[in-house]
Amino acid sequence: MRAYALWFLSASAILGLLGCDPHEGGGTCPDPRDPGVHYVSHEPECPGIDFACSPAQTPFSDECGCGCIGPEPAACPDPRDPEVRYVSHDPRECQLIDFDCSWPQTLFSDECGCGCIGPEPEACPDPNDPEVHYVSRDELECQLIDFICPEGQEYMSGIPAACGCGCIGPEPAACPDPRDPEVRYVSHDPGECAVIDFDCSPPERFFSGECGCGCIGPDPLVGRSH
């Protein structure tokens, strides 16, 4: 009996050195203390156990037991989050679905399913708004168009490219009528106006914009006695 006990202890020690005890690290068994090792069971070959590992993990099933090796899968995006929009919760269906996310949303597709994460894109500026001035509603054409917004208006920004392009702001004031006897243009060229230095005589008032520059008011020379 004593000889049998000594033989059993010797065999156990040898197995421990070989690392076949799944409860001990080292040897050929995956180390259960490793955070990347996830045992489903320590029973050899895991008979009758059906399990699956996440795509980033590798399954194992041997004399040590069975389980998965690899990082824990990331938590699924919370469908209750207002910025999470699932297209499908079925990973296999997601492989067949063709969809896009609107900027600034980001696409996700994994074992959780697929969809978009991010705030809902802003709506396109309302073309019926009198302060919305579209140059084009074509996304590709907008990439080729070079245009300038009038003074007092701003370029459309922070909107989906599919909306188009243009300017937002009040319509520029009408140009002073050159046929008006109280309108005196110095130049009709805004570029030239930027470098011209001139003054208007009281009671005239100065103007300068996309129409040009000059003075508006009664001619101070009219009615002046000599």
Q: What does the pLDDT look like over 173-209, one tens digit per residue?
A: 789 999 999 999 999 998 899 899 999 998 999 988 8
pTM as predicted = 0.34
How do the domains of the chain map onto residue ranges? 9-69, 84-117, 132-168, 183-216
What is the full DSSP assignment across the chain? -HHHHHHHHHHHHHHHHHT--TTS-STTS--TTSTTEEEEE-STT-TT------TTSEEEEETTEEEEESPPPPPPP-TTSTTEEEEES-HHHHTT------TT-EEEEETTEEEEESPPPPPPPPTTSTTEEEEES-HHHHHH----PPTT-EE--SS-GGG-EEEESPPPPPPP-TTSTTEEEEES-HHHHTT----PPTT-EEEEETTEEEEES--TTTT---
Q: How confident is the model at residue 221 (pLDDT cuts 50, 70, 90)?
A: low
Q: List, for residues 15-32, the tens digit of each pLDDT value.
A: 343 444 444 444 589 999
Token pair, residue 29, equals 């068994």
Would you state the structure tokens that stand for residue 140, as one six-digit string?
């590709």
* Partners of 166 in beta bridges: 134
Q: Token match 């050929």: residue?
A: 28
pLDDT recorded at residue 183: 95
Residue at token pair 């994460």: 117
Strands 212-216 and 205-209, by their bridges, are antiparallel
